[in-house]
Chains A and B, each alone.
Chain A
Amino acid sequence: MDHLTLSCPACAQPVGEDDQFCEVCGVDLRSAGAARAGAGTSSADSSAPAAPQPPSARAPGSVPAGAPARPDPRRGGGADAHGSTGPDPASDAALEPSRAPGNAGGLPAVTGHLLLDDADEDPEPGTGPDADDAAADGDDPEHTRTAPNPVVPGPACSHCGARLIDVDGYCESCGRPLPRPRDHQERALGSVAGVSDRGHRHHRNEDAFSVAATRRPDGSPAVVAVVCDGVSSASAPDEASELAAETAADHLLGALEAGDAAPEATARAILAAAEAVDGLAERVPVRPGHNSPACTCVSAVLADGRVTLGWVGDSRAYWIPDDDGEEPIRLTVDDSWAARMVEAGLMEEAEAYADPRAHAITGWLGADAVEVEPHTATFRPSSAGVVLVCTDGLWNYAEAAGELAAVVPQDARTRPLEAARDLVRFALENGGHDNVTVAVLPWVPAERKGDEGGHDDFDTDTVDVRAADDSAADAETETLPGLPLPPSPPSPSRPSPAADHAPEAPAPAAPHPADPSTADPSTTDPSATDPPAAGPHAGERRVGDQHVPDHRTIPFGTAGSGPSAEER
Chain B
Amino acid sequence: MAKLTKSTLPQFDVEIFQNEYLAEGAREVNAIVTVTATGGGTSGGRPLAADSVDAGVVIMIDCSGSMDYPPTKIRSAREATAAAIDQIRDGVAFAVVAGTHVAKQIYPTDGDALAVASPRTREDAKQALRHLSPSGGTAIGTWITKADRLLASRPDLSLRHAILLTDGRNEHEEPAALQQALDAAAGRFTCDCRGVGTDWEVAELRRVSSALLGTVDIVADPANLADDFRSMMENAMGKEVADVALRVWTPQNAAVSFVKQVAPVVEDLTERRTESGPRSGDYPTGSWGDESRDYHLCVRVPAAGVGNEMLAARVSLVLPQPDGTAKVLSQGLVKAVWTDDLAASTRINPQVAHYTGQAELAESIQEGLEAHRAGDVDRATAKLGQAVRLAHESGNEDTFRLLEKVVDVVDPAEGTVRFRKDVSEADEMTLETRSTKTVRVAKKK
Contacts and interface: CB of A to CB of B under 8 A. Distances in A.
Nearest to B327: A144
B251 A201 contact: no
Contact of B306 (A198, A201, A289): A201
Contacts of B341: 232
Given A168-B333, A203-B309, A174 B325 contact: no
B316 interface: yes
B249 A148 contact: yes
A203 B316 CA distance: 25
Interface string A178-208: 0000000000000000000011111110000
A138 interface: yes
B109 interface: no
A138 B14 CA distance: 14
B252 A200 contact: no
A490 to B, nearest CB: 36
A268 B404 CA distance: 65
Given A201-B340, A289-B347, A176 B308 contact: yes
B314 interface: yes
Contacts of B312: 175
Given A144-B321, A149-B314, A175-B252, A202 B307 contact: yes
B338 A203 contact: yes
A543 B11 CA distance: 49
Contacts of A143: 327-328
A177 interface: yes
B25 interface: no
A491 interface: no
A160 interface: yes
A138 B252 contact: no
Contact of A203 (B278, B324, B327, B337): B337
Contacts of A160: 252
Contacts of A556: none
A160 B316 CA distance: 24
A146 B325 contact: yes
Nearest to A145: B325
A289 B309 CA distance: 21
A200 B306 CA distance: 8
Contacts of A168: 311, 314, 333
B371 interface: no
A19 B337 CA distance: 27
A162 B307 CA distance: 21
B327 A175 contact: no
Contacts of A198: 307
Contacts of B330: 138
A168 B313 CA distance: 12
Given A145-B325, A147-B277, A148-B316, A175 B251 contact: yes
Interface string A138-166: 10000111111100000000001000001
A171 interface: yes
A175 B254 contact: yes
B325 A175 contact: no
Given A138-B329, A203-B337, A173 B252 contact: yes
Contact of A144 (B306, B311, B325, B333): B325
Interface residues of A, number: 30
A426 interface: no
Contacts of B277: 146-148
Most chain B CB atoms below 10 A, which of A198, A200, A203, A233: A203
Interface in A232-266: 232-233
B251 A177 contact: no
A170 interface: yes
Nearest to B247: A148
B332 to A, nearest CB: 10
Contacts of A170: 251, 310-311, 314, 333
Given A144-B326, A146-B326, A200 B307 contact: yes
B250 interface: yes
A204 B339 CA distance: 11
B269 interface: no
Interface string B249-290: 111111000000000000000000000111110000000000
A203 B251 CA distance: 18
A127 B331 CA distance: 21
B403 interface: no
A288 B350 contact: yes
A171 B251 contact: yes
A147 B316 CA distance: 11
Nearest to A432: B307
Contacts of B311: 166, 168, 170-171, 175-177
Contacts of B324: 146
Contact of A148 (B252, B301, B314, B347): B314
Contacts of B276: 146
A150 to B, nearest CB: 10
B349 to A, nearest CB: 8
A175 B316 contact: no
Interface in B197-249: 247, 249
A203 B328 contact: no
Interface string B350-369: 10000000000000000000
Contact of B327 (A138, A171, A233): A138
Contacts of A146: 276-277, 324-326
A273 B340 CA distance: 30
A148 B307 contact: no
Nearest to A199: B307
Contacts of B314: 148-149, 166, 168, 170
Contacts of A232: 341
Given A144-B326, A171-B251, A174-B252, A203 B307 contact: yes
A295 to B, nearest CB: 17
Contacts of B337: 203
A199 B305 CA distance: 13
Contact of B310 (A149, A175, A204, A233): A175
A147 to B, nearest CB: 5
A144 B328 CA distance: 7
A202 B307 CA distance: 4
B308 A175 contact: no
B309 A176 contact: yes
Contacts of A204: 309
Contacts of B340: 201
Interface of B: 247, 249-254, 276-280, 301, 306-312, 314, 316, 321, 323-331, 333, 337-341, 343, 347, 350
Given A144-B326, A144-B327, 12 more contacts: A138-B327, A144-B325, A145-B326, A146-B276, A146-B326, A166-B311, A176-B251, A176-B309, A201-B306, A203-B307, A232-B341, A233-B343
Top-8 shortest CB links A-B: A175-B251, A170-B311, A175-B311, A203-B309, A201-B307, A175-B310, A148-B249, A144-B325
25 contacts: A138-B327, A144-B321, A144-B325, A144-B326, A145-B326, A146-B325, A147-B278, A166-B311, A168-B311, A168-B333, A170-B251, A170-B314, A171-B251, A173-B252, A175-B250, A175-B254, A175-B301, A175-B310, A175-B312, A176-B309, A177-B311, A201-B306, A203-B338, A289-B343, A289-B347
